[in-house]
Structure 1
Amino acid sequence: MSGLALSSPPRCVLLCGYYGEHNLGDDALLEVLIRQLPEGWQPVITAFDSEAVREMVPNAAVINRRSLNSTLKSIREVEAVVLGGGSLLQDSTSFRSLIYYIIIILAARIRSKPVILWGQGLGPLKKSLSRFLVSRALNYASSITWRDVASMELAYRLKIKTPMTMAPDPVWTHQTTNHQGGGDIVLCWRPSKLLNENGWTLLLKALEQLCHRTGLSVTWLAFHALQDADLFQSLRGKGLISDNLAKKSTTIIANNIEQANDIFSDASLVIAMRLHALILAISSQCPTVGLSYDPKVEAAARTAGAAWSSLDNLPDLKILVSQWITSLSTAPSISRLDAIRNESHEHERMLKISLSNIQ
């Protein structure tokens, strides 16, 4: 018999999230989650575009996230299930999506597979039935880390007894490119029901004045390729974008997080509606301002001390332009970023503890 010790086979963990949907925010979450998995754990990832996910994680098995049957079958083959980042438990996008994740939690419970919620946001939960189902399902989880205070408070109101903690979004720990600056104004904007024609007109007038006063051009960075890529043309088609602004504008669909980080590195200012665009831009020490369509965006901006405005209560034109001009010369605090990153590693700590407790 050989004196060489045999290595243990890898243990499989199912990572459930909005992966492979061409949303760079969820790609960033997946990259962080993969990096935080303890040694010896093999990821099985639910995703729509399997090839895109395999480019990010070549050693991973990929399950079609849009097939509930395939996802449920995969639970049999793993030792744990992780709901990885984002606001998966909410009924604002659709009630069907909420039921999908509830079923996954319950199926794992039936098979005695631990369920870990990692870096999650909770809500909105508009329906009383949604709140009831979530309150029951989350008490079957092994551990939960929330990404913001509002989610933690909602969980307490729902009387969740599972061990829980809260820390800044995991993407704060994502590796970024050092800021160089001197480039375009970068927009990470998205369609929003909070903005009617008057709201878009205000933002675009402020943007045009900002360009005129600074001489800078504009990059429209589609952070969610399927939702954001046509925004410029849509607004242009409605006559909301002037010829002058159109001449200064370019739309870019980033292929991956690295390309987006390079764009943030060169930007003179990032104006972000997308949560993880805001986080990555600030993390790269780029001057950044938020436009909040959801409390999570406001919360992230507040955490970093960045300026922000709410889409449902925009200031007047003069105040908005002044805020953006001021933000141009306001780089994020390095010491504050270091503190945020240190706190954000709580998600990693709890993930490793939870997986190490599995026999």
Structure 2
Amino acid sequence: MGIEASQVFRIAISGYYGFRNSGDEAVLKSILLALDECGQEAGIRIQPIVLSIDPEWTSGMYGVEAVHRMQPKEVISLLRASDGLLSGGGSLLQDATSAKTIPYYAGIIKLAQWLGKPTFIYSQGVGPVNRGWMNPLIRSAMKASRYVSVRDKESAELLDRIGVPLNRIEVVPDPVMGLPLPEQEASGADRHSHEPVAGGREPVIGISLRFWRKDRADLDRIAGALLELLGTRDVQLRFLPFHTPEDVEAAAYVIGKLGASGAGKTDIREAGDDPQRMLHEVSQCDVLLGMRLHALIYAANMKVPLLGISYDPKIDQFLGRLQLKPIGTTESLDSAAFVSHVTALIDNASGWVQSKNDIIDQLKQESRQPARQIVNYLRELKR
């Protein structure tokens, strides 16, 4: 609406994008929406260009430009032509999944800085960092960035320990706390209204699993707890794969363990590649049991009572922001305690929502703070 060409900013966005992991794609979608809205409010336009492993798919999904994240010439050309680099969100600066992760993401940040571009760190989860030799690379990338935000205080404390001053770090919620439902579903967001389940309708328990232990003892324990729940209460178990095909296989494994008890009581809902469709699926559950971090974030976003299984400190950190603790871990799960908690949440969903409502609303509001800060910085460039 009359925004001049001088008020258009090309921003490169680096993250774990194009791999079709629902959580990371939700992060990207949330960032794109927040930048667009905050830009409009400030009277400027952000033109995002995403570094993706599958640029064609990313462009088609989000309607944005994209370049291949592993093609150095394309990346350098993009950064040269950009007005800055946004790195995030997600767990980009950690070495638990691979020793190559930190050098890649920090390297992209440093490359942008060497080309004279401002860099912005967007609600990242930092750590664990088990290889001390990576700390100087992280410290250098962070200290030279114009804006640094992390999604939990533990990430901020880790950065502080390696030499990034705390007064330069803003702790904000995960971007996905601000992700809205698809427009066509928004009007029906409160299907259950968090009231006691009406007669005749079985409560829907959403379940997000992933493979973690090689011996699958963690999934065996979850199956045992679900069997006890099925023996106690009439419920529907709805498995929600956030990363396909692995999570579909994990769901099928647990369903197989349920045997005849699960007949007619289980289904696997694949929402496709659009993260907002999975958000809608989560919104239709009465309770959610999640191993995946973003399954728990989706549930909190939609104010669906949730229980977390911890496999990584990031699960505990997010639950802590809601004043919750995991119901179990990949090492232990008490079936009786699980059944008791699920039953209580089914019977008093409104009480849970009431107790968490203010916290969740604040997280949702604060989730766009990085976008506001970045837009304000860019707007000042033109003054």
TM-score greater than 0.5 by the shorter chain: yes
TM-score (norm 2): 0.84
Matched residues in 1 for 2:60 and 2:116: separation?
32
Residues 41-80 of structure 1 show CA distances to partners (whole Å, capped at 9, x for unaligned) of: 211111123344224421x211112334422331111110
Tell me the equivalent position of 1:245. 262
1:291 aligns with 2:309: yes
Of 169, 174, 191, the match for 1:169: 174
Matched residues in 1 for 2:231 and 2:160: separation?
49
Seen in structure 2, the aligned counterparts of structure 1 residues 335 and 6 have a Cα distance that, compared at 3 Å, is closer
1:340 aligns with 2:363: yes
Tell me the equivalent position of 1:35. 33
TM-score (norm 1): 0.90
Tell me the equivalent position of 1:126. 130
Residues 249-287 of structure 1 show CA distances to partners (whole Å, capped at 9, x for unaligned) of: 222221122321222222121111111111111221212
Tell me the equivalent position of 1:259. 277
Instruction: Please give the secondary structure, in 2, of the residue aligned with 1:83.
Output: strand
Residue 317 of structure 1 deviates from its aligned partner by: 2.1
Seen in structure 2, the aligned counterparts of structure 1 residues 305 and 6 have a Cα distance that, compared at 3 Å, is closer
Residues 296-321 of structure 1 show CA distances to partners (whole Å, capped at 9, x for unaligned) of: 11222222244523424524221222
Residue 30 of structure 1 deviates from its aligned partner by: 1.2
Tell me the equivalent position of 2:197. none
Residue 234 of structure 1 deviates from its aligned partner by: 4.0
1:184 aligns with 2:182: no
Seen in structure 2, the aligned counterparts of structure 1 residues 254 and 68 have a Cα distance that, compared at 3 Å, is farther
CA contact (8 A) 1:269 1:287 kept: yes
Matched residues in 2 for 1:136 and 1:50: separation?
29
Specify every segment of 5 or more residues in structure 2 that has no aligned partner in the other structure, as ranges.
Answer: 193-200
Residue 323 of structure 1 deviates from its aligned partner by: 2.2
Residues 81-122 of structure 1 show CA distances to partners (whole Å, capped at 9, x for unaligned) of: 000210111111111121111221121111100110011110
Tell me the equivalent position of 1:87. 91
Seq. identity, %: 25
Q: Which amino acid aligns with 1:14?
A: A
Q: Which amino acid aligns with 1:192?
A: W
Q: Which amino acid aligns with 2:220?
A: T
1:322 aligns with 2:340: yes
Specify every segment of 5 or more residues in structure 1 that has no aligned partner in the other structure, as ranges.
Answer: none
1:26 aligns with 2:24: yes
Matched residues in 1 for 2:133 and 2:32: separation?
33
CA contact (8 A) 1:13 1:44 kept: yes
Tell me the equivalent position of 2:121. 117
Instruction: Please give the secondary structure, in 1, of the residue aligned with 2:100.
Output: helix
Matched residues in 2 for 1:17 and 1:153: separation?
22
- Runs of 4+ aligned residues of structure 1 deviating over 6 Å after TM superposition are none
CA contact (8 A) 2:126 2:155 kept: yes
Matched residues in 1 for 2:345 and 2:325: separation?
7
Instruction: Please give the secondary structure, in 1, of the residue aligned with 2:70.
Output: coil
Instruction: Please give the secondary structure, in 1, of the residue aligned with 2:125.
Output: strand
Q: Which moved more, 1:340-349 or 1:82-91?
A: 340-349
Of 141, 146, 160, the match for 1:142: 146
Seen in structure 2, the aligned counterparts of structure 1 residues 43 and 250 have a Cα distance that, compared at 3 Å, is same
User: How many residues get paired?
Assistant: 352
Instruction: Please give the secondary structure, in 1, of the residue aligned with 2:327.
Output: strand
Seen in structure 2, the aligned counterparts of structure 1 residues 259 and 342 have a Cα distance that, compared at 3 Å, is closer
1:206 aligns with 2:225: yes
